[in-house]
Structure 1
Amino acid sequence: MKIKILLNTIILFVTATTFGQIGTRFASEKKIVKDPVTGQELIFLTTKSAGDSKTYPTHPQWTSDGEWLIFRSNRVKGEAIAVNEKSGVLVQVTEGGYSGTLCIAQKSMKLYFMRKGPEENMQIIELNLGTVFEDSKSGKMKPVAAYERLCGITNPEMGASGDMALDADEERVYFRVGKEEAAKHLTAGVTLEKSFGPRNMGAGPGGIGSMNLKTGELKHVISVPFQIGHIQSNIWNSGEIIFCWETGGKSPQRTWTVIADGTGLRPLYPESDFEWVTHEAVISKDEVAMAIMGHRKIDIEKDTPVEVAANGEIRNPVNPGQESNWGATGTREKPTGLAIVNLRTREMIIAGQTKSGSGLWHVHGSADGKWAVGDDFSRSLYLIDRKTNEMMMLTTGHKETAADHLHPTFNREGTKIEIQSAMLSEDNRSMNICIVNVPKEWLKRK
C-alpha cells in the first residue's frame, strides 16, 4: 500500500511539474542593464533561457490595467505566462494549453484564445485574468474551470486556426478559416491565386470567420483568392479588420482591410511591383504602420538585386529576402522605410529610414502619433520623432543568431516599448522579454 501511495504521489508530482497549474508563481528574474553602445537602460523582465517570446506586434501586449505583460514561454510547455512589470513576479495564466494568438482585452482583465477541442474543433476561451492574479497572490487557487468560460466552438469543417483578433467592442473575435470553408463563400468566377515566391506560399483561397463571444454565433466575414495571414482588429474602431496576403516574403499586394460585415474589402496600401511591403500593424484609431523594405543591394551590371547564393535558390539562414525568386523588388532605387498609412484619407508618409543596411523591418507606433519605432536585420532598435523626423538608435547587439526578431510594440501611453531579445542568452538563441523606455528628454517634448 505504501508503494502504491508513493507511486501515485510521484505521478501527481510529475504531472504538476510537466503541465503546471494555473496561478503557479515563479520568482522575479528582473534585471536592468545598460546597452553597451547607446547607454540606454534595458529592463529585462525575464533572464532565464526558457523559450520566451512575445505576442506578435499586431496585438496588445499589456493587460488593461497596464501592470502585466503576457507572453509565450516554455517554463511550462504549451502554457502562457504573465509578468508583473513592477515586481517582476511571473504567473502561469493558462492550463490545458492554447493555440495561436493570445488576445489581451483592453477594456477588461480578460484573455481570449483558442484551444483544440476533443473532436478536431476549436474552442474559444475567455479567461478572467483579474481573478487569477488575485488568487495566485493569496495562494488560494481554484480549479482552472473557475477562471475559464467557453465562449463557443467552431465546426471542425471550418478549419479554424488560432490566428485570431479581438474586436474593439470585445464582443467578437475574428479568425482564419481553412481553404475548403473559404471556397464555399468565394465569389463565383474569381480566379484563385497561385503560390508566390520561393517559399511556395500564398495560394488561395483564404477566409476570415467571426464568433460572438456572448452567444457563440459563428459568421463568415470574407473569402479572398489568396492565403490570409496576420489577422488583426483595429482596437479603437469596432468592426474594422486588417489582414495580409501571406507568402512568407514579398506579396503582389500585401496589406488589406475589410469591415466585419464583409463590406469594404480593399488594399490598405496599393503597392507597386518594386515595393516589398511587410509587417503591418494598427497603431492608432486611424493609422497603420508598415515596412517598405530596402534590404536588397543592386547588382549594377545585371540591373537586378544581388543574389546571396550562386543560383539564387538558397534561403539566407539568418535574414530573409535575398533569394532571386522574389523578383526585382526591395531595393533602394525607390522610396523605402517605415511607412504610416491613414485609414480614412488613404495618405501614406515615410516616417524614417536607416541610412544603410536592411532598413526598418518590424515596425510600430504610439497611439498619440508622437513616435514610431522599428528594428532591422542587425536586431537594432530605432525610435523616430514623427514631428521632427529625428531618429535615434535605442539599443543594438541583440544577436542576429536569436531564435526570432525584436518585434517592437508600444504600450498604450506611448512611453515604453516591449521587445524580445537574446542579448543575455548563453546559447545565442533563447530570447527574453525586455522593456525599453522612450528617453525622458523625448517625452518632455511638446
Structure 2
Amino acid sequence: MKSHLSVIFLLATMTSFSQIGTRFPSEKKIIKDPVTGQELIFLTTKQAGDSKTYPTHPQWTSDGEWLIFRTKRANGEAVAVNEKSGIMVQVTEGGYTGTLCMAQKSMKLFFMRKGEGDKMQIVEVNLDAVFKDSQAGKMKPVSAYEHVRGVTTPEMGASGDMALDADEERIYFRIGKEEAGRHLDSNVKIEKSIGPRNMGAGPGGISSMNLKTGEFKHVVSVPFQVGHIQSNIWNPGELVFCWETGGKSPQRTWTVMADGTGLRPLYPESDFEWVTHEAVISKDEVAIAIMGHRKIDIQKEAPVEIAENGEIRNPVNPGQESNWGNTGTREKPTGLGIVNLRTREMIIAGQTKSGSGLWHVHGSADGRWAVGDDFSRSLYLIDRNTNEMMMLTTGHKQTAADHIHPTFNRDGTKIQIQSAMLSEDNRTMNICIVNVPKEWLKRK
C-alpha cells in the first residue's frame, strides 16, 4: 500500500512540476565582483540549465518586474523570475521552440510550438493571469492562459526564429528554403555556404502573421540564409535581420519593412570587416560589433579541430580558423558600432585596447550608454557622451556553456547577462543583473 501511495505521489509531483503557474523559491543572491567591486545580482544560482533570451529581443515583461528565461528546472518550460522577490513562476506548458517574444505594451508572451507534422503553432500567453492565479494558488487549466493564434502550413517550413511587432499586431518568422524560393526571382543567384561552419546558403525569407485575423503574408525573400530576425519595438513594421554563416558574412546586416519594401544592407561592410551581433537598441539605432579579434598574420594556418558534423572549429577561440579569410584584424577601425536607421551614419562608440574586442553588443534606448562583452566574458560599459569605458564585471568563465549576451532594460539603468561565475561545473549558467553605476546615472 505504501509503495502504491509513493507512485501516486510521484506522478502527482511530476504533473505539478510541468504545470503552468508552478512556483519556485527565490535563489536570489547579491555578490560583489572580485575584480571590479561592482554589485552582481544573481536571480538564479542553482545549476539548472538557465539561459537568457537572445539580446536581439526584450528580456523584461512590459511592467519591468519579471524576466523570462529558458531553463531545465521546469522540464524545459519557460520560467519568469521576479526581479525584486526572486520568486520564479513557470509561464508555459507543453514546450516551445525558438525565441521567447515578450510584448512591451501588454503583459503577453509569444512563441512557437511544434504541432502536427511540420506545422508550427503561434502561441500567446496571458502573463497577468498566470502571475495572479499562481500567487493565489488557484491555477486553471492551461487553456485559460495559452491561446493558439495561428498555425503555419508544412509548406512554409516555419521556424521559431521570430519577432513581435511594436504594435503587437503581427509576428514575423523565418521560413524554409522552398517557401522562400517560391517568392524569389528566378534570375537571382542563390548564395552557397560560406566559411568552415558550412552555413549561409540560400534562399531564405521572412513571413508574417496577423495576430488578430490569423492572416499570413510573405515579407521578403533573399538569396542567402536568414537569421536573427528582430523587430524595431519602437517603430511598427520595421525589421532587422542577418545573413547567417556562423561567422563572417559578405554582408551581415540587413533591414526591410513589413510590406517587403526598403530591403537594403543596414551597414554596408567591406571585405576586411567582420560584422556580427546586430541589435536594435532604440527607435533609430542598431548596435553592431565590428570584430577585432584576429591576428594580422591570420592567413597562416591556425589550429583547428573537426567536429562530428564536419564543422571546422578553433578549439580555443572562435573565428580564428584560416578558412574565414583575412578579416577581423585591427588593421582597420573596429569596435562597437552604432548605425542610425534614418541617416545611415555609423559611429564607433568604443573598443577594448587589446584582446578579442567587443563581441555581443547592446545600448540604452535613451542614447546614453552602450555595452559589450568580449571573449574573456568580461562586460564593458561605455558612456556615449564622453566615450569613457568601464569594465563592470569579469571572470564569468570562458568554459561557460554560452556567452554572457548583455541586454539593457527599457530604462537604460540595468543590464541582464547570463553567467557561469557561480557554477561548480564551470559551464552551467545563471541569470544575473548588473546595474549601471549610480555615479554614472547621475551624469547629465
Instruction: Provide the residue aligned with 1:308 in structure 2.
Output: 302
Deviation at 1:307, TM superposition (A): 4.0
Q: 2:437 aligns with which of 417, 428, 439?
A: 439
- How far apart are the structure 2 equivalents of 1:314 and 1:187? 33
What amino acid is the match of 2:320?
A: Q
Deviation at 1:136, TM superposition (A): 0.5
- Alpha carbons of structure 1 residues 267 and 138: separation in structure 2 relative to 1, 3 Å: same
DSSP-derived class of the 2:417 partner: strand
Q: For residues 320-376 of structure 1, what are the alpha-carbon distances to aligned partners after superposition, in whole Å with 9 as ceiling and x for unaligned?
A: 100001001000000000000000000000000000000000000000000000000
- How far apart are the structure 1 equivalents of 2:130 and 2:188? 48
Deviation at 1:215, TM superposition (A): 1.0
Instruction: Provide the residue aligned with 2:25 in structure 1.
Output: 27
- How far apart are the structure 1 equivalents of 2:141 and 2:316? 43
Report if aligned partners of 1:370, 1:385 keep a CA contact under 8 Å in 2.
yes
Q: How does 1:121-136 map to 2 (within 5 A)?
A: 121-136=119-134
What is the percent sequence identity of the aligned residues? 82
Report if aligned partners of 2:51, 2:418 keep a CA contact under 8 Å in 1.
yes
Report if aligned partners of 1:307, 1:322 keep a CA contact under 8 Å in 2.
no
Structure 1: runs of 5+ lacking an equivalent: none
Deviation at 1:120, TM superposition (A): 2.4
DSSP-derived class of the 2:313 partner: coil
Deviation at 1:298, TM superposition (A): 1.6
**Runs (4+) of structure 1 moved beyond 6 Å?**
2-5, 310-313
Instruction: Provide the residue aligned with 2:107 in structure 1.
Output: 109
Report if aligned partners of 2:41, 2:433 keep a CA contact under 8 Å in 1.
yes
- How far apart are the structure 1 equivalents of 2:250 and 2:63? 40
Q: 1:150 aligns with which of 148, 169, 178?
A: 148
Deviation at 1:305, TM superposition (A): 4.3
Report if aligned partners of 2:305, 2:313 keep a CA contact under 8 Å in 1.
no
- How far apart are the structure 1 equivalents of 2:10 and 2:176? 39
What amino acid is the match of 1:129?
A: L
Q: 1:340 aligns with which of 326, 333, 338?
A: 338
Q: How does 1:377-388 map to 2 (within 5 A)?
A: 377-388=375-386
Report if aligned partners of 2:304, 2:321 keep a CA contact under 8 Å in 1.
no
Q: For residues 200-237 of structure 1, what are the alpha-carbon distances to aligned partners after superposition, in whole Å with 9 as ceiling and x for unaligned?
A: 00000001010000111111100000000000000000
- How far apart are the structure 2 equivalents of 1:7 and 1:33? 40
Instruction: Provide the residue aligned with 2:11 in structure 1.
Output: 12
Q: How does 1:19-98 map to 2 (within 5 A)?
A: 20-98=18-96
- Alpha carbons of structure 1 residues 403 and 311: separation in structure 2 relative to 1, 3 Å: closer
Instruction: Provide the residue aligned with 2:236 in structure 1.
Output: 238
DSSP-derived class of the 2:8 partner: helix
Structure 2: runs of 5+ lacking an equivalent: none
Report if aligned partners of 1:306, 1:322 keep a CA contact under 8 Å in 2.
no
Deviation at 1:319, TM superposition (A): 2.8
Normalising by structure 2, we get a TM-score of 0.96
Instruction: Provide the residue aligned with 2:259 in structure 1.
Output: 261
Does 2:116 correspond to 1:118? yes
DSSP-derived class of the 1:298 partner: coil
Name whichever of 191-200 and 5-14 sits farther off: 5-14
Report if aligned partners of 1:291, 1:360 keep a CA contact under 8 Å in 2.
yes
- How far apart are the structure 1 equivalents of 2:3 and 2:178? 51
What amino acid is the match of 2:107?
A: M
DSSP-derived class of the 2:288 partner: strand
